[in-house]
A and B are shown apart, each in its own frame.
Chain A
Amino acid sequence: MSSTLAPTNEIILDVDGLQKRYADGTLAVQEITLDVRAREFVSIVGPSGCGKTTLLKTICALLAPTQGQVKLHGRKISEPPPQMVLVFQDYARSLFPWLTVQGNVMFPLRRRKDLSATDKEQAAQRAIEAVGLTRFAKHYPWQLSGGMQQRVAIARAVAFRPEILLLDEPFASVDALTRADLEDLTLQLRDEFGITMLLVTHDIDEAVYLSDRVFVLSAPPSTVLEQIRIPLAQPRDQVRTRSEPGFLELRNHIHGLIGKRKDDGMKSFVLPEAPPTLTLEGETVP
């Protein structure tokens, strides 16, 4: 693990007081403030439905915030910047079925007039190698399994050489074993290419395992409940890291944070009155 690729203290992404309201008026994100440092692995965890996807899309300027702003290297962004790439949860809908794996991965390089065709091919090949799909470069995405398709999506993002990779619950649609492989893959990519990672997930264990810092979100309309530093040893290892006492402490703490909010919510939930039942005779029974 080269120390030159370790996380620094330089803040490259600054999200300040972000609020996002849907067109129909519902408040998805109430107020989110967070920051990401160069080459850091940051996770955002929260209960389902807390607007995590919306948050991520707003951060990379696919959506405009209702309030607040996002600054990349100190400058406010209003259009998706080339330094950020978002990997979607639903790989089937985001990959292009009419292109091979190689075609998909080369797609982002289309606009790069400064690269020759061979350069582009090599860059794509390198990305495909990095995700372990060299054998399948000429296959079509739909010929591959779910986990492999997500790798293609990640390779496509990596080929674009972004500074920051935003991942929207990327491993939610794959089985547990594949998920472990993909988790380690993201760590590898961070090490190999020096990419900063911002991952959104509902899986607390995953967040703790992967990250240097975790932001815990409340239920919608979401705010940041707490920011937690993860001081666990690097490099992470699926077996060793997950059995460290520190790991369990951290995950339980986060569980408590999110669970408590859920409990609060449930205690204040009042059951509506059951409708009266009609008997055969027509008399109502409460």
Chain B
Amino acid sequence: MKRIFNRGNLSAITTVVVLLVAWEVVARIMKSVYVPPVSTIATTFVHEWFSPTFGQQAIPSLYRMVVGYFFASVIGITIGIIIGSSKPMYRLLDPVLQFLRAIPPTAIIPVGILLIGIGDQMKMVVIAFGSMWPILINSADGARLVPTERLDTARIFGLNSVETLLRVIVPSAMPMIAAGMRTGLSIAFIMIVVSEMIGSTDGLGYYILSAQRTFAIPEMYGGIALLAILGYLLNTGFVWAEHRVLAWHYGQTARPV
């Protein structure tokens, strides 16, 4: 605990506090609708999000995102590993994949709306499409870059292709896959917000946009703050989980051999 309150952090906390106080004071003086005082935002935040609204708006967003991300991971890792393990497959599919991944996933949303309509499925599909690419590409790279000595060792010990894939290639590629999944998670988060802003009747993206339109300004700020908190939690949570699963990797890179 003592370490948290050292000089550097004290300065950081002070800055934040000073800024918040300044915001409060300026907002109260200006009385502008556009910049409500921090205290108002805070009370609205507590009022909104510790209530059924959370279940109505935040949970659907998270649910869609998790489902889409799950499929993105499963498909991305599977296809990526298979492509990466086979040089001929890699060469065959490379241009098609490069083409598909160059398209910004948000631009696909209108296509999704046309093909699937406005609903949970569209969002999940679009999220899956968008977050799949970094996962796929990183999985392919991870599989490609397995040291030949390890593959040779698997052959020497008589492992067949499936065993080699599962017992050697996948574990070797895990660090890269994890990196891809982390990027994919940020993209999934962005995609849910965007897809809810464009075509939705509920969800966090819809909430903050409609709050702005209906001039429910403190609610808008509150929604943005909630998004910030969720984003932070997701990222930190992922990094924490990654460090536990890949303890062997982080231990290895920490100690140069």
A-side residues, CB < 8 A to B, are 57, 60, 62, 79-80, 82, 84-86, 88, 90, 92-94, 96-98, 107-108, 110-111, 140, 142-143, 146, 149, 160
**Known A-B contacts A88-B152, A90-B149; A142 and B158 likewise in contact (beta carbons under 8 Å):** no
Q: List, in ascending order, chain B residues with CB within 8 A of A98's CB.
A: 171, 174, 248-249
Instruction: Closest A residue to B146 by CB, please name it.
Output: A93
Instruction: Closest B residue to A149 by CB, please name it.
Output: B257
B149-175: contact bitstring with A at CB < 8 Å (1 yes, 0 no)?
110110111110001000110011010
**Known A-B contacts A62-B155, A80-B156, A80-B158; A143 and B255 likewise in contact (beta carbons under 8 Å):** yes
What distance in Å separates the Cβ of B145 from its nearest Cβ neighbour in chain A? 11
Majority secondary structure of chain A interface residues (helix, strand, loop or mixed): mixed
CB of B168 within 8 A of CB of A96, answer yes
Q: List, in ascending order, chain B residues with CB within 8 A of A62's CB.
A: 152, 155-156
Q: Is B104 an interface residue, CB under 8 A from the partner? A: no
Choose from A84, A97, A140 the contact partner of B156 (Cβ within 8 Å): A84
**Known A-B contacts A111-B157, A142-B252; A93 and B150 likewise in contact (beta carbons under 8 Å):** yes
CB of B167 within 8 A of CB of A97, answer no
CB of B156 within 8 A of CB of A142, answer no
B-side residues, CB < 8 A to A, are 147-150, 152-153, 155-159, 163, 167-168, 171-172, 174, 248-249, 251-252, 255, 257
CA A218 to CA B167, docked complex, whole Å: 39
Residue with the highest number of chain A CB atoms closer than 10 Å, among B152, B155, B159: B152
CA A62 to CA B149, docked complex, whole Å: 11
Residue with the highest number of chain B CB atoms closer than 10 Å, among A82, A84, A108, A149: A108
* CB pairs A–B below 8 angstroms (13 shown): A62-B152, A62-B156, A79-B155, A80-B156, A84-B156, A85-B156, A85-B157, A86-B152, A93-B148, A94-B149, A110-B157, A140-B248, A146-B257
CA A62 to CA B255, docked complex, whole Å: 32
Q: List, in ascending order, chain B residues with CB within 8 A of A60's CB.
A: 156
**Known A-B contacts A96-B168, A146-B257; A57 and B150 likewise in contact (beta carbons under 8 Å):** no
CB of A86 within 8 A of CB of B156, answer yes
* Contacts beyond the supplied A79-B155, A80-B156: 18 A-B pairs with Cβ under 8 Å: A57-B152, A60-B156, A84-B156, A85-B156, A86-B156, A90-B149, A93-B148, A93-B150, A96-B172, A97-B252, A107-B157, A108-B157, A110-B167, A111-B158, A111-B163, A142-B257, A143-B255, A160-B157
**Known A-B contacts A110-B167, A142-B251, A142-B252; A94 and B155 likewise in contact (beta carbons under 8 Å):** no
CA A62 to CA B154, docked complex, whole Å: 11
Choose from B153, B158, B249, B255 the contact partner of A88 (Cβ within 8 Å): B153
CB of B150 within 8 A of CB of A111, answer no
What distance in Å separates the Cβ of B153 from its nearest Cβ neighbour in chain A? 5
CB of B251 within 8 A of CB of A143, answer yes
CA A97 to CA B149, docked complex, whole Å: 13
CB of A93 within 8 A of CB of B156, answer no
CB of A96 within 8 A of CB of B257, answer no
What distance in Å separates the Cβ of A81 from its nearest Cβ neighbour in chain B? 9
What distance in Å separates the Cβ of B251 from its nearest Cβ neighbour in chain A? 6
**Known A-B contacts A140-B248, A140-B252; A96 and B156 likewise in contact (beta carbons under 8 Å):** no
CA A62 to CA B168, docked complex, whole Å: 17
Instruction: Closest A residue to B254 by CB, please name it.
Output: A142
What distance in Å separates the Cβ of B77 from its nearest Cβ neighbour in chain A? 16
CA A82 to CA B156, docked complex, whole Å: 7
CB of B155 within 8 A of CB of A97, answer no
Choose from B155, B159, B174, B252 the contact partner of A111 (Cβ within 8 Å): B159
What distance in Å separates the Cβ of B24 from its nearest Cβ neighbour in chain A? 52
CB of B157 within 8 A of CB of A97, answer no
CB of A93 within 8 A of CB of B155, answer no
Instruction: Closest A residue to B149 by CB, please name it.
Output: A94
Instruction: Closest A residue to B252 by CB, please name it.
Output: A142
Q: List, in ascending order, chain B residues with CB within 8 A of A88's CB.
A: 149, 152-153
**Known A-B contacts A86-B156, A107-B157; A96 and B171 likewise in contact (beta carbons under 8 Å):** yes
CA A80 to CA B152, docked complex, whole Å: 9
**Known A-B contacts A62-B155, A108-B157; A140 and B147 likewise in contact (beta carbons under 8 Å):** no
CA A272 to CA B149, docked complex, whole Å: 39
Q: List, in ascending order, chain B residues with CB within 8 A of A160's CB.
A: 157
CA A267 to CA B214, docked complex, whole Å: 90
Q: List, in ascending order, chain A residues with CB within 8 A of B159's CB.
A: 110-111
CB of B150 within 8 A of CB of A96, answer yes
Instruction: Closest B residue to A109 by CB, please name it.
Output: B157
What distance in Å separates the Cβ of B99 from its nearest Cβ neighbour in chain A? 30
CA A160 to CA B158, docked complex, whole Å: 11
Instruction: Closest A residue to B155 by CB, please name it.
Output: A80
CA A94 to CA B147, docked complex, whole Å: 7
Instruction: Closest A residue to B160 by CB, please name it.
Output: A111
CA A184 to CA B252, docked complex, whole Å: 29
What distance in Å separates the Cβ of B173 from its nearest Cβ neighbour in chain A? 11
CA A143 to CA B249, docked complex, whole Å: 12
CB of A142 within 8 A of CB of B255, answer yes
CA A93 to CA B167, docked complex, whole Å: 15
List the 9 shortest-distance A-B pairs measured between CB atoms, nearest first: A94-B149, A93-B147, A108-B157, A142-B252, A93-B149, A88-B149, A98-B171, A98-B248, A80-B156
